[in-house]
Amino acid sequence: MLRLANKVALITGGGTGIGRACALAFAREGAHVAVAGRRPGPLHDVAEEIAKSGAEALAVECDVTDGGSVQHAMETAAKRFHGIHIVVNNAGALLVATIDATSEVEWDQIMAVNLKGTYLVSKAALPELRRAGGGSIVNIASVLGLVAMKNRAAYTASKGGVIALTKAMALDHAHENIRVNCICPTIVETELVEGLFTAQPDPEAARQTRRDMLPLGRLGRPEDVAHLAVYLASDESSFVTGAAMPLDGGLTAY
C-alpha cells in the first residue's frame, strides 16, 4: 500500500536538490504534489517528471518571503487538488560568513528565507490542514541549528529559529491533529553545495575535508532527506510531533 495515497503535499524549494527529491519520493508514495519556488523552469521539469510517472503534480511560482505570494501558491494548490494535507518547508538560503562579515541586508535575507518563509508558509497552510482534519508540516532545518560551525553565524541562527518554531507550532496545534517536525541534515550533495566546493582552490580536498568530519564517511544525499520526510508526512509517524531529527552521518554523536 502506498504510504501517502490520496494525500496532497506542497513542497517549497521543490525544483532542485532536497525539494526535488522530496517531490519525487512523495509522488512515488501516492501523493499529489505541488512544487513551489521562484524559478519556474526547474519546477516545471519536476512536475513533468512526476506526470510521466503517472502521478499528479503542479508547478506554482512562490516567493516564501512574500505573504501574498505564499497565500496565492497555497490557494492554487488547494484548489487544484481539493485540499492540502502535507507541507514541506524546504526553501532555504545559505551565507558563509562570520557575524562581523555579515551585512544587515544579508542577515535580513537569510532570516527572511529560512525563518520568515517557514512562518509564512506554515501560517497559510493551517486553514487547509484544519479543513482536512489534520496533517503534517515537515520543516527542513539543519544540523547547524543543533550545533555550530565557523563562518555560518546567520545561517545557524536562522536554522536554530526553525527548530524552536517547529517545537512551538507542534505544541500549539497538536489538539488539531496537526503534527510539526523538522529534519536537521548535515551537508547534502546539492547544486548549491557543489558550487561551494567548486569555488575552492582544491574542490576535491574541500569535499574530502567535509567527508572526514562525518563518521559514516560520506556526504548526505537528497534522497536521504526525502526518505525521512516521507516518514514524517505519513501515518507511520502519527505519534511523532515537535521532533528535531538529526540526519547527519553521526556528526552530533561526538
- Residues 227 and 209 grouped into a single domain: no
Identify whether residues 108 and 157 lie together within a single domain.
yes
Per the domain annotation, does 253 fall within a domain? no
Distances, alpha carbon 43 to alpha carbons 35, 64, 246, 247, in Å: 6, 15, 28, 25
Q: In this structure, is residue 251 part of a structural domain?
A: no
**Residue 180 sits in the same domain as residue 197:** no
| pLDDT over 90 (residue 254) | no
Instruction: Tell me what pLDDT residue 194 has.
Output: 86
Residue 92 sits in the same domain as residue 169: yes
Residue 205 lies in a domain: yes
Cell numbers describing residue 38: 521562484
The predicted-structure confidence for 21-66, as pLDDT tens digits, reads as follows: 999 999 999 999 999 999 999 999 999 999 999 999 999 999 999 9
Same-domain pairing of 116 and 237: yes
Residue 2 covered by a domain: no
CA distance 131 to 40: 29
Residues 144 and 242 in one domain: yes
In a domain, 254, yes or no: no
Flag whether pLDDT at 196 surpasses 90.
no
Q: Do 47 and 122 share a domain, yes or no? A: yes
Q: Does residue 115 lie within any of the structural domains? A: yes
Query: The domain spanning residue 125 has which CATH number?
Result: 3.40.50.720
Q: How confident is the model at residue 226 (pLDDT cuts 50, 70, 90)?
A: very high
- Listed as own residue / partner, the contacts of 213-219 with beta carbons closer than 8 Å and 24 or more positions apart are 213/251, 214/186, 214/248, 214/249, 214/250, 214/251, 215/249, 215/250, 215/251, 215/253, 216/249, 216/250, 217/249, 218/249, 219/186, 219/187, 219/188, 219/189, 219/193, 219/249
Distance CA 42, CA 241 (A): 31
Task: Report yes or no on whether pTM surpasses 0.75.
Answer: yes
Task: Please state the rounded mean pLDDT for residues 143-163.
Answer: 97
Phi and psi at 229, nearest 5°, equal -65, -40
Q: Are 207 and 117 part of one and the same domain?
A: no
Residue 1 lies in a domain: no
* Residue 155 is a catalytic residue: yes
How many domains is the chain partitioned into structurally? 2
| CB-CB contact of 173 with 205 (8 Å) | no
| pLDDT exceeds 90 at position 165 | yes
Q: Specify whether 19 is located in the same domain as 29.
A: yes
Contact (Cβ atoms closer than 8 angstroms) between residue 60 and residue 52: no
Active-site hit among 119, 155, 231, 254 = 155
Give the amino acid at 9.
Answer: A
Do 43 and 108 lie in a common domain? Answer: yes
Q: Is residue 3 part of a domain?
A: no
> Containing domain of residue 201, as a range?
187-219
Place of cell 516518514: 231
143 and 197 inside one domain: no
Specify whether 119 is located in the same domain as 195.
no
- Span 248-252, mean pLDDT? 96
